[in-house]
Amino acid sequence: MQGELHEECGVFGVYHLPGAANLTYLGLHALQHRGQESAGIAVSDGDSIRCRKGHGLVTEALSSQKLAELTGENAVGHVRYSTAGGGEWENIQPLLVRAKMGSLAAVHNGQIANARELREELEEQGSIFSSSSDSEILLHLIQRGRGSLLEKLQDACRRLEGAFAFLVLTEQSLYAIRDCNGLRPLSVARRGQGYCVSSESCAFHLIEAEEVRELEPGEILKFTAGGMESHRYTADTRHRLCAMEYVYFARPDSDIEGRNVHSLRRRTGRLLARGDKDLKADMVVGVPDSSLSAAMGYSEGSGLPFEMGLIKNRYVGRTFIQPTQELRDSGVKMKLAANRSAVEGKRLVLLDDSIVRGTTSRRIVRLLKEAGAREVHLRIASPPLRYPCFYGVDISTQEELISARLSVPELCRFVGADSLRFLTEQEMQEAYGGEDFCFACFDGRYVTRV
């Protein structure tokens, strides 16, 4: 839907588990919310690596026939929404290379902030890139490194700036890497005698794996026949998880850095309600799905009933073509329907997670008013998005962020709401329990050179 945020991708890996391809398929299915453009799996049988991938959802990209061709106990998988690099076939991950050291398959969640200068440097040294994805840079840096593969990975990661959670598969081993600021989440779990690695813990639930812990910033976990080894590529680390993981990207049933996503979102709703003691309203409505937890919290904090005022259509095709303006304008109505019997004649408090370009918010407010809502008071469970992101979120310029151009009263008039209020930065820190996050898209304080 136009105006929504998108995160680059999700990664999932398996080591020393029979049926690794099927387990990875299930893990990617649980991470489908992190990317719907393409999916792929690479599997090692101990001697070689095979890769199968395709455009679309996991079920579209990876048929049962493709899965049957992937035999082995070690695997990495990827679901993608493209930010750096387009949706061409060459950019679909895993990226598989065959070199003198052996075969490598890599998957990446995040975005390399210094990708352009690294790419230019590598090309001047003779590297030839087969994709426009920034993820391929790691493979070229490994190829030019010295020492063991672990040492090459350590040297390569020290040159990367930005956000990355990498999984690198060889014929015999699996490496999991998290950037030195911990911008993107990455966790490890046990299942039987083997291990799983995932962008989110919700994927572990589906395959009945038990989470062990999250990778620390700057950590490399190496999985071999001897077990799991922890290494570091730098001692200069910080905990600066991207706040948008909690605001929007992660599934409500995931736990990230010791915090349950649903519980934290619900807390933001209660804080918004705390500032609305004088607001007269009849009910609370959340925009499905990522805002429902905040709406529940607002209901608890305000004493107003939580109602299903908006119904999500689960069967809208991801690739629906909108060739005319009339069809484009119908996009919100195809995804969301107002529950007229619930909202007609009522004063609503509408909870949403964020406002990006403003067009979706305006259409949702109009949808509710056309269904007979008397008033719509819009509450946003995050501060205004005013700065571009260079760490894997598809907001690359300030011009596309409406809060960078309009004041809150102006934005309220633009979306057609009767009132509008955002969560403040101080309230966000209170809800999240501290300042150990990247809030750059809200306050412009980037955690790396950009």
Say whether 9 is catalytic. Answer: yes
Instruction: Identify the CA nearest to 266 among candidates 294, 307, 292, 288.
Output: 294
Instruction: Identify the CA nearest to 387 among candidates 348, 356, 341.
Output: 356
Instruction: Identify the CA nearest to 184 among candidates 236, 107, 129.
Output: 107
Contact between 203 and 30 under an 8 Å Cβ cutoff? The reply is yes
**DSSP 8-state symbol, 403:** G
134-to-35, 49, 116, 125, 161 alpha-carbon distances in Å: 17, 22, 8, 17, 11
Coil/strand/helix, residue 238: coil
**DSSP 8-state symbol, 305:** P
Contact between 438 and 240 under an 8 Å Cβ cutoff? The reply is yes
Helix axes 115-124, 136-144, angle to 10 degrees: 40
Contact between 51 and 228 under an 8 Å Cβ cutoff? The reply is no
**DSSP 8-state symbol, 306:** B
From CA 407, how far away is CA 427, in angstroms rounded? Answer: 19
Neighbours of 289 (CB within 10 A): 13
Sign of CA dihedral 414, 420, 425, 431: negative
From CA 166, how far away is CA 178, in angstroms rounded? Answer: 7
**What is the set of active-site residues?**
9
